[in-house]
Structure formats: C-alpha cells, structure tokens
Amino acid sequence: MIGTCLASDFLVAATAMIPLAVTALLAGARRDRRCRLLALSALTTIAVAVATAKLTSTTMGSLGYRTLPTPFRIAPFSELPGRAELLFKGLKALFNGYLGTAAPGVFHTPLGIASDIVMSAALLALLILGVRATIKLVSSGLRKHSASMQTPAQLACSLHIIYWASSAASACGAFWLAGEGPTTAHESYYATVIFSVAAVVPLTLSMGSRVRGLIVAGTSIFFAASLVGLTSNNINQITGPMKASSTITQIAQANHLQVGYSSYGDATGLTWGTHEHVVVRPVVECPNRGGANLCPGFQDYILSWYVPRQRHSFLLIDAHEPEIRGVPKGLGKPLAAYGFESMRMYIYPYDIASRLGSALE
C-alpha cells in the first residue's frame, strides 16, 4: 500500500515511510529479540514499498500515465520564519481556528478561540507523549534487568505513539523545510496531523477523571466547530470557485451552455459546485501552432473529456490561478464576456476542445 501511494505522491515518504523507519530504528536499538524482529519487519516493509513504487511507476508509465515531479526545494534560512507562520495558520485552519472574528456568525468567534486552545493543547500533548514514549523505549532497552523491560503491551503502546508523533513531526517538517514556498499554507502537506492527534491523545483517557474531562471537552469543541463550519457554508465563503458557482450556472443557462474549460484549481470545484449542471474541464496554457495555446491538463484528467462536439463552450480565467494568465491566442473573438469575483468568462460559438493541443507529458 505504501509503495503504490509513493509512486503517485512522494509526500507519503514524509507521512508514512520516515515515521516507520524512525520507529523501526528505535525498536532495533533495544537488546531483546522481539524488538529486533519488529524492526526487521518494518525495514523490510520499507524496502518492499520502494520496489513496489518503482514497479507501479513503470507499469503505469507504460500505460500512458504520468506523475508530476514533486516541487521539492530546500528552503533558504530567510524563508523559514515565513513558512513557520504559514504552518501555524494552516494548523489553525485544520483545527477549525478559521472560525474567528473574520468569519460571520454568532458562535464563530468563541468557537474559533476555543478551537485554537484545543489545537494548542492537542499538539502539546502529542509532543509530550511522543518524547516520553521515546525516552521510555530507549531507557528500558538499555537496562539489563528483565524486570525493568517493557511488557509487550507497553512496548506496543510506545511504538504506536512514536510512529504517530514522528508522522506529525515529519509532515510538518517537510512543509517547513522543503515545501512549495512561503505563499500559501498548503494544508494537504500536514493534514495527517489530525490523525496523529486522534491516534495518540485518547490513550491518556486512563490517566484520571480530569484528563478524561479535558479530552471530552476538547473533542466536543472540535466536532461542534466542524458542524458550525459546515452548516454555515464556510467552505463556499473561503473558496473562490464555490462562491462563483451560482453565477456561472446562471450565465451558462442563459447562454445554453453545459461545458466549459478552466484552470485545474477551479475546474473540479466548479463542476461540483454547480451539481454538474455545468461541467468544467481543466486546461493549461501551452504552445500550440495548430489552434489555441491550450492543452488538456495538467493532472487528474481523462482524454475522453476533450473529444470535440457540436456545441458552444466557455473559457473561465481566474486571476488567482496561475495555469491560465490571459486569453490564449487562437481562440478567436468570443460571443460574450462576463466579469465577476476574480474571474472572467468568455463564451465561444464552438467547442474549445476542437482547438486544444496535445495533452502535456
């Protein structure tokens, strides 16, 4: 499973393979046979995963699929403070901290503040439990007396905590040190921190009634804030394509349109936001002598989407999306043009798919 996913997204190395390797090495440093067998098993899993990733990439490549290169770049020292701030903002968003004063709603401000407190407590607990489990695992392995060794249940618990705490640290570190730059929070890099918290913090339920009460209160706040965010339609309020979906639907219906083309960042969201009343396919700028300077892509697309038909279509350009910076050459004069939000919508008397270049490799 790790190898198959690794073939598609190298981020799996940070969220799964590095934590597994760290846990295996710590287990292998102990003297008992059981831990060394566990370490050998985990390291074998990693080796098989690497081979599986190579096999998957080769097989899928022979079938015509391509994987985009990972935007991996070690950040210079000057960028680290900015990246740390983005990481903090992204973690706040994952824990519903976006429900602050900037979001409308009666309960948004108190829930946003409470969510920030829950996030801070949960991450601190994850850090403390991870450090404690690591120290306990290493120290018990250095002792010679069998009475001081961890029981199988204690060992399993320690390895479990170390894995998930390492996963959170590795995912956040990957974004901080080698992400895509100090421009956006990119929560997808470290969204698995939520799983780390959920896997580790509940283990403290046995520590006493006060801790149990805090966990119940924190979990209740998290779920309450999540429900408020969903019922208040905050996804539509913070996502440009979703906000514009009703306007695009109205314009499309008025012009008898069902299909359009836009940047990758908008296409799927608009198709979803219009409940597929308007289907928007992703395109990207590219050199094309035989038609418009547009090609299918740039990822997650099917070539059958771009079979030309006898119909009108539209091109949607979003100022916030870099794939299409302006009206490409070769499209001709549009029948109409509309401006709304950060977008411009151009309607053409033909299917734009008939003027697209070859799919990008």
Q: What are 306-340's pLDDT values in tens digits?
A: 999 999 999 999 887 877 888 998 999 999 999 98
pTM (predicted TM-score)? 0.74
Which helix (H) or strand (E) segment holds residue 157: the answer is helix 152-178
CA distance 316 to 44: 49
The DSSP call for residue 253 is H
Q: Are 258 and 279 in contact (CB under 8 A)?
A: yes
3-state SS assignment for residue 264: helix
CA distances from 99 to 26, 115, 227, 238 (A): 40, 8, 11, 11
Q: Are 334 and 348 in contact (CB under 8 A)?
A: yes
For the chain, give the percent of residues with pLDDT over 90.
48
Count the neighbouring beta carbons within 10 Å of the beta carbon of residue 31. 12
The answer to whether residue 257 scores a pLDDT higher than 90 is: yes
Query: For position 233, what pLDDT does the model report?
Result: 55
Q: Are 351 and 310 in contact (CB under 8 A)?
A: yes
Q: What is the pLDDT of residues 165-210, one digit of tens each?
A: 999 999 999 998 887 766 677 788 899 999 999 999 999 888 788 8
Query: For position 77, what pLDDT does the model report?
Result: 86
Q: Print burial letters for 248-285: b (CB count within 10 Å at least 16), e (below 16).
A: bbebbeeeebebbbbbbbbbbbbbebbeeebbbbbbbb
CA distance 86 to 89: 5
Task: List, in order, residues 6 or more apart from 303 with CB less than 8 Å away.
Answer: 296, 359
